[in-house]
Homo-oligomer: A and B are copies of this chain.
Amino acid sequence: MRVNTRTCYALTLMADLSRQSPGRPAPLREVARRQRLSPRYLSQLTIPLRNASLLKSVWGNRGGYLLARPPARISLLEVIEAVSGPVGLTDCVLDPNYCRRSAYCECRRVWKQINDGIVKVLSGYTLADLARLGAGDAVQGTPGGPQEDSLTCRPQPRASRPSRPRSAPRGSA
């Protein structure tokens, strides 16, 4: 599984909607403002969510979005799979033919086992659980303060955790 911003934002969107009045459609603009996310980017996520029958959209003026079901009956797994496809820690877990070495690769069974665990956790979690975790409306501070210049998730433009640790100095081993 690759947890990316799509995944996170979709969950955030759904959790936010879970906290709104059940009958009234919430405009995406408001959700985006509360969660401090780009409304445009968020709107890309609504399409697969609607296609997966997790979200209902109301057209026209005073329109917006509604959850298709009560929050307690939508699992995180459903949301994630709607926007990011099947949950697979690796590609070989989902498709044995993906990797040429699948037939004799020891790792694959480990990934499979871990993946099953992830799926189990995610299917047990619902939006209601998620909504309970969140602190209601997110944006409460910055009352007239300086606006953040971007609505992105990343802290700064070129933040990158070194995924390949540098080797230790030669003499240390």
- B130 to A121, Cβ gap below 8 A? no
**Separation of A35 and B135 alpha carbons in the complex (Å):** 50
**Separation of A91 and B168 alpha carbons in the complex (Å):** 23
Min CB–CB distance A15 → chain B (angstroms): 5
Instruction: Pick the contact of A51: B15, B125, B167 (CB < 8 A).
Output: B167
Min CB–CB distance A112 → chain B (angstroms): 11
Known: A104-B135, A134-B106. A48 touches B161 (CB 8 A): no
Residues in A lying within 8 Å of B, measured CB to CB: 1-3, 6-8, 11-12, 15, 35-36, 47-48, 50-51, 53, 76, 84-85, 89-91, 94-95, 97-101, 104-107, 109-111, 113-114, 117-118, 121-122, 125, 130-131, 133-135, 138, 148, 152-155, 159, 161-165, 167-168, 172-173
**Other CB < 8 Å A-B pairs besides A50-B173, A114-B118, 7 of them?**
A3-B89, A8-B90, A51-B167, A51-B172, A91-B161, A98-B154, A110-B125
